[in-house]
Amino acid sequence: MPPKGKKAKNGKSADSSSTPGEASTAASLEPFPPAEPGPSTSTAENKPKGWTVFVQSQIFFDITQPPTPTWIDRSVLEGKGGAEAAALWLAPRLAVTHRLFYPNELGKVLGPKSQEEIWKAVNNSPTFPLRVIKRRQKAQSFGIDSRGREVGTYTLPEFEAREERRIKLSCLLLLSNRFSELRDRERRGFDKSVVVTEQEYLEEKARRKEMAQLQKKLYGTQGMAKEGKLALDPEWDDVTPIKLEEPEKALAAIAYTADYAEAMSYLRAVMHAKEYSPRCLKLTEYIIEMNPAHYTVWLYRAANIFALKLSIPDEFVWLNAVALENLKNYQIWHHRHLLVENYWPVIASDPRAIAKFAEDERDFLTKILAEDTKNYHVWSYRSYLVGKLNLYSDPEELQSIEDMIDADVRNNSAWSHRFFLVFLDPKNSSPGVPATQPDSKVPGHLVDREIAYAKEKIELAPQNQSGWHYLRGVLAKGARPLTSVEEFAASFVVGLGEGENEDVRSTHALELLAESYIGKEEPEKADLCFSRLAEKWDRIREGYWEWLRQQS
């Protein structure tokens, strides 16, 4: 600490003991204003409120450093040369340390006669350079505060408040160190009686927060050792965060918030140390809250859960809330997949547990699909789950999909899932048959049922492509020719090529019809369908219709 500061502090404590307000302190000093303010205190006035720390410090210096008798070599005063020699010896010293000669101070050392002689000597001396003695050149800095202001320019009340904080911070630091010591002893474990209580832990957390605030007020963010949420948390004391070092020219660098940057630097540290612990789990939750699209964090979270053998159902509960808040996020769904994989061995041998789990999952999926009916990742997960839990022929699963198709017959995701449920059920299908290829293992009654279902839904909205894609998919699976639905398709097409009479209610019907004609080797009929599609009913796909016509 700079000597000036120490002096100022001493001075402050001296007068704070005598008076509650600096105004009176200043007033008592009024008879001794400096001849001139310090170099950087040009605004200082001879008024109590204008008195800055610099001014105060100067006056204290002047008062508290009188030339004491010990300074004066009595042999000089008493020896040859007498007063003149003494004066020449003494005067520079006075001049250097004082800007003024205080007559009463000098009087404490010398008798009136000696004083008179000194002054005479000084005045008469041809060598004593009274006028060129330099004053102290510069007031030393009292430090810079958090806003970049010189503390020396503080008014006394301001300075008082600042000192209050400094003292408080020092006290808190002592308590904090005591806590750390206690906790370290607890960790070493030699003395079992040393226990850090929850209360002490919470106190320390609050204390650090207060310390950080004080530090910030006193010194700003510069040079602060700890500021972030984690750095202030005693739980993370033993972790040295790994800061991200972006190269100077890094492209698309993100200006992270302080909290995110801090959390990530702790994550890097614990991942590097391969730590799996409850605090790591908490950390992942904290980061996911800020950025749910971070695959590294999710995988690390899963690793923690599995390493700590934490309750998977608990994690599902937590995850459901996160998923509902982040509908478009897909890391969530891989995480869920990993959870199921891990949970499966626990329930695999218990049909009731499987049924319960399946029900819970379906409830949740229904809920989230109500928010976002075609969410790709939710549907992908759903098909995975059906496979894992063998829910293909679960009537509730099929019913749930039918409900969704009833709600929106154009929900193609629901149609896709239905196809998967019916035609990829291992019970009813051969493994490895491509989706567009016939499968002899698919029972005929299922094919019939699904054709009827598709037709019924197509009637509701004939231009809905989902129903037609489904119908064609079913036909292909069941090795049924397109001609088997030709009549159905034809019901949506009236008077094709007959000018005014022509009416088409579904381009998909017309397309199917055309391909059916190709199969029956009726190229003229097919040709007409393609022409009408290209010319009128679905012109944007003209190139495609032309290509199909090339095949007819």
Tell me which residues in 393-412 interact with another protein (CB under 8 A): 407-412
Q: For residues 347 and 378, which CB has a smaller minimum distance to another protein in the complex?
A: 378
| Residues 298, 293: Cα–Cα separation, whole Å | 9
Residue from 59, 280, 288, 302 touching another protein (CB under 8 A): that is 302
**Residues of this chain, 414-433, that bind another protein according to CB under 8 A:** 416-417, 419-420, 423-424
Residue from 155, 320, 429, 506 touching another protein (CB under 8 A): that is 506
Dihedral of the CA atoms 47, 48, 53, 55 (nearest 10)? 40
Q: For residues 40 and 483, which CB has a smaller minimum distance to another protein in the complex?
A: 483
Angle separating helix axes 3-18 and 53-64, nearest 10 degrees? 90
The DSSP bridge partners found for residue 167 are: none
Q: For residues 200 and 502, which CB has a smaller minimum distance to another protein in the complex?
A: 502
Find all residues with CB under 8 Å of 531, minimum gap 6, and list them.
Answer: 497, 545, 549
Residue from 39, 130, 240, 295 touching another protein (CB under 8 A): that is 295
- Which region, judged by CB under 8 A, interacts with another protein, from 34-42, 50-58, 64-72, 239-247? 239-247
The yes or no reply on residue 238 touching another protein (CB under 8 A) is no
Task: Say whether 232 sits in a helix, a strand or coil.
Answer: coil
Least distance in Å: CB of 456 to another protein?
Answer: 13
The yes or no reply on residue 248 touching another protein (CB under 8 A) is yes
Closest CA relative to residue 237, chosen from 285, 284, 187, 310: 187
Q: CA-based angle 211:166:1, to the nearest 5?
A: 120
> Six-digit token pair at 231?
């750095």
> Six-digit token pair at 501?
């009479």
Residue from 37, 228, 292, 478 touching another protein (CB under 8 A): that is 292
| Residues 417, 439: Cα–Cα separation, whole Å | 18
- Which region, judged by CB under 8 A, interacts with another protein, from 11-19, 32-40, 161-169, 413-421? 413-421
What does DSSP assign to residue 104? H
The answer to whether 99 touches 62, Cβ cutoff 8 Å, is yes
Residue from 78, 191, 245, 524 touching another protein (CB under 8 A): that is 245
Residue from 42, 137, 199, 436 touching another protein (CB under 8 A): that is 436
The yes or no reply on residue 289 touching another protein (CB under 8 A) is no
Q: How many residues bind another protein (CB under 8 A)?
A: 91
The yes or no reply on residue 494 touching another protein (CB under 8 A) is yes
The yes or no reply on residue 155 touching another protein (CB under 8 A) is no
Q: For residues 119 and 344, which CB has a smaller minimum distance to another protein in the complex?
A: 344
Residue from 268, 279, 282, 455 touching another protein (CB under 8 A): that is 268
Task: Say whether 26 sits in a helix, a strand or coil.
Answer: helix
Tell me the per-residue interface mask from 198 to 237 with another protein, x by CB under 8 A, - otherwise: ----------------------------------------
- Which region, judged by CB under 8 A, interacts with another protein, from 66-74, 90-98, 175-183, 267-275? 267-275
Closest CA relative to residue 121, chosen from 93, 145, 91: 91
Residue from 136, 334, 388, 455 touching another protein (CB under 8 A): that is 334
Buried b (16+ CB within 10 A) or exposed e, 20-36: eebeebbeebeeeebee
Q: For residues 12 and 377, which CB has a smaller minimum distance to another protein in the complex?
A: 377
Q: For residues 257 and 311, which CB has a smaller minimum distance to another protein in the complex?
A: 257
| Residues 361, 147: Cα–Cα separation, whole Å | 55
Closest CA relative to residue 41, chosen from 133, 138, 135, 136: 138
Residue from 88, 322, 461, 490 touching another protein (CB under 8 A): that is 461
**Residues of this chain, 465-484, that bind another protein according to CB under 8 A:** 465-466, 469-470, 472-473, 476-477
Q: Please identify which residue in the block is written with the tokens 């004053």.
A: 135
What does DSSP assign to residue 36? S
